Amino acid sequence: MGAVRDLAGRHLLRWRTRLGHQTATRYLDDLTAVLAPQGWRFVRFYRREEFPVPAPAAAQIDRLLKHRLFPATW
């Protein structure tokens, strides 16, 4: 059940981000301001001005690296 909830949460976040990027950015910045004093570190991939093209997913990077490092396994 947790996997379904995680998937639903990711889809909800995507939906909210597409509809209201400024609102989502404000909420994420507020969350960063609260958690940073507790020692959390953040990489802000949600800022459009920093990344004009979407950052590739971790699975895509993983497949590319495995293919380059171990070409005989493909």
The predicted-structure confidence for 35-59, as pLDDT tens digits, reads as follows: 999 998 888 776 666 555 566 677 7
> Do 16 and 23 contact (CB within 8 A), yes or no?
yes
Closest C-alpha to 17, from 28, 8, 6? 28
| Structure token digits, residue 39 | 């020692």
Q: What is the pLDDT of residue 52?
A: 56
Predicted TM-score (pTM) of the model is: 0.39
- For residue 48, the enclosing domain spans 2-73
